[in-house]
Amino acid sequence: MQLLHCDKPYNLDEAAARRGTPRRKRKDSRTTAYELTIRIPEEHRRHFGGKKKLTRVVFALNKKIDLKGQVRAFEEEKNAVLDLALEARGGGSLDAAAWAAMPFGEYAERYVERRVGVISPASTANERRYLKYAKATIGSIPLKELVAEDVERCVLAVPRLSEEWALEKRRREEENRERLRQEGRLKRRAPFSPVRVAGPAMQSKVLKFVREVLNDAVDREHVGRNVAKKRFLSKGFRKGRPLIDPLMEDEAEAFLEEASSLPLDMTKVAVLILFSTGMRPEEMLAQRVGTFVPAEEGEDAQMRIVAALRAGRIENYTKSDSSMRTVPLDRYTASVVEAWIEEKRRALDEMGLVLRSSTPLLGETGNPWSYNSFKKRWNAFVRKAGFAGTRPYALRHTFATINLARGENIKTVSALLGHADASYTLDLYVGFIPATTRGLADRYVGRLVPGLVNGREKHGLEEDFR
C-alpha cells in the first residue's frame, strides 16, 4: 500500500511578505506559519469525502525538529484514517489471521512506507530496491506460509534478476539513443559502460531486509517466528567485507607531497582533511566553518564531526552515535584550513555576505560542495598525481593502517574513525597490525628472572649442553 505523504511545507509568512499582506495571527510571535498539503491518490479519495488534497496550517519554531514533527504527526493521522478504511472487514480492523494471510510483498511495502521520514532518503531508496527483489520472487506468498527455502530462493535469484533488469534498461537506452540519432539530436556517442550485475553484497542486503521485515511481523505478533533467521541462510549469505585499499607508506608520502603542492582551493582542503583525519567523504563535505577549532597553547587544532552530507544536504546526524567525534589536525593541515577560511571570508565579503559558523567549509557561498562535483575534481587530481583509480575512501584506510602499523592503540584508532566497536576495527585491519611475537618468550621470562635469558652460564646451563 502506498501511504500518504506531505508535500514540501509552504512558508506562508514568506508568501505574505511578497504580497505585502500582514502575517497570520499566532500565539507565539517567534514561530513561522507553514501550510502542509497531502495530495490524495484518486483511488483513495472516497475515504476522504472525495477531496483531492488535505491541508493544515501549523506554526513552528524551527524546521529540523518542530516542523518535521508536525509534518510526521499530520501524515500519521491521515494514514491512520486510510488504514482503518482499507483494512475494514465487516466494520473492524484486520485481525491476526488477516495479517498472517497478507502477501509478503504487500506487508514488506507497508513496512518500507512506515519508515519514510524515520530513516534517511538514501536508506529509504535502498529499502525500495531490496523490496523490488523480494516482490519479484516471494511477493505473492502469504506471510504465514513463508518458509526459509522461499527466502533462500529469493536471495539466490538476485544476480539473475539484476542482470535481466540491467539488460532491459540497456535496451531502452539503446532505443532512445537510436531515436535521437534519427532525429539528428545526438551530438556525442559515448560508449555505454559495462552492465553491472548484483552479487554477494546485494544478496546479503536483501536477506537482511527480509529478516527485518519478518522481525517486524514477529514483534507485532502477526507471525510466530522469523524464518529468515535460519542458520543455513546466515552461513550461506554472509555480509561481504568492505574493500580495504590503503596506500602503502611510501605511496602515502608521495601522495601527501602532491596534495601539498596544490594551490589553495577546495580540492586541496578536501584532500588534506581526508588524508589527515580519516573521516568519511560524506563527513568531510558536511564540515562547517564552526566545526574547525584552531590550535591553542598546548592544544592541537581539531575538527568536530557532527553531520554528514545526505542527498546534497547537511544533516546533523552521522552514520551512528559513535560517528559524532572530535579528531585532531596536524599543524600543516590546520594552517591550510585557516587560510582557506580567511579566503572564503574575503570572497563572501565581496558579495555582501557574512561568513557564519554554520557556513559550509567547502562549497560555493552558503551551499555545501556536492559529492559529484568533488569526485570530478578528485579524479582529475589523482590522475595528474599518478594515483589514477584511487578512491577517496582509500585515504580513510590509509589513515587507519599507517597509524596501526606505527603502534597506535586499536581503541584510539577506532574512536577516531567513528566505529561503533573496536572489534570491528580490529576485524577490518588485523592484517595491517605489526606482529609483536618476536622476542616475546624471552621478554616474558627475562622480566621475571633476567639471568635465565641474559646469563645462562651463571645457572650452570653451559655445562648441561656439553
Domain ranges of the chain: 10-93, 104-185+196-236, 249-432
Strands (E) in 10-67, as ranges, are 10-11, 32-39, 53-60
Q: Which of 34-38, 296-300, 336-340, 363-367 has the least mean pLDDT? A: 363-367
The answer to whether 340 and 269 are in contact (CB under 8 A) is yes
Helix (H) or strand (E) holding 309: strand 308-310
CA distances, 76 to each of 4, 172, 395 (Å): 9, 38, 43
Cell of 401: 593502517
Q: DSSP readout, 126-148? A: HHHHHHHHHHHHHTTSBGGG--H
Measured CA distances, 445 to 440, 450, 464 (Å): 9, 7, 20
Of 1.10.620.20, 1.10.443.10, 1.10.150.130, 3.40.640.10, the CATH number of 104-185+196-236 is 1.10.150.130
Identify whether the C-beta of residue 362 lies closer than 8 Å to the C-beta of residue 369.
Answer: yes
- pLDDT value at residue 154: 95
Q: Answer with the residue of higher pLDDT: 184 or 84.
A: 184
Q: Note whether 346 and 358 are within 8 A (CB).
A: no
Q: How many Å apart are CA 93 and CA 48, to the nearest integer?
A: 18
pLDDT at 167: 94
The grid cell for 86 is: 482499507
Alpha-carbon distances, residue 447 vs 331, 437, 439, 460 (angstroms)? 40, 15, 12, 20
What does the pLDDT read at residue 87? Answer: 58
Per-residue DSSP letter, 116: B
Cell 555576505, residue located? 353
pLDDT band at 465 (very low <50, low <70, confident <90, very high): very low
For residue range 94-113, list pLDDT tens digits in order.
677 888 899 999 999 988 88
Instruction: Kindly report the CATH number that applies to the domain delimited by 249-432.
Output: 1.10.443.10
User: Between residues 113 and 148, which one has the greater pLDDT?
Assistant: 148
pLDDT confidence bin for 367, thresholds 50/70/90:
confident
pLDDT mean over 332-360: 91
Is pLDDT of 1 > 50?
Answer: no
Question: Which residue is listed with cell 494514514?
Answer: 79
Give 410's pLDDT tier (boundaries 50, 70, 90): very high
Q: What is the dihedral of CA 103, 104, 105, 110, to 10 degrees?
A: 100
Confidence of residue 453 (pLDDT cuts 50, 70, 90): low
**Pick from 171-175, 340-344, 430-434, 449-453: least confident:** 449-453
Residues 416 and 315: their CA atoms lie apart, in Å, by: 20
For residues 7-14, give the mean pLDDT: 92
Indicate if the pLDDT at residue 442 is higher than 90: no
Q: pTM, whole model, 2 decimals? A: 0.63
For a pLDDT cut of 90, what percent of the chain falls above it?
50
CA dihedral defined by 104, 109, 111, 113, rounded to 10 degrees? Answer: -170
Closest C-alpha to 137, from 115, 108, 166, 99: 108
- Distances 272 to 259, 269, 332, 372 between C-alpha atoms, Å: 7, 5, 9, 18
- Cell output for 100: 498472517
Cell numbers of 106, please? 504487500
Residue with cell 611510501: 250
Residue-level pLDDT at 382: 95
Distance between CA atoms of 71 and 367, rounded to whole angstroms? 25
pLDDT for 282 beyond 50: yes
Q: How far apart are CA 213 and CA 109, in angstroms?
A: 9
C-alpha span between 400 and 431 (Å, rounded): 12
Return d(Cα 270, Cα 293) in angstroms, integer.
Answer: 16
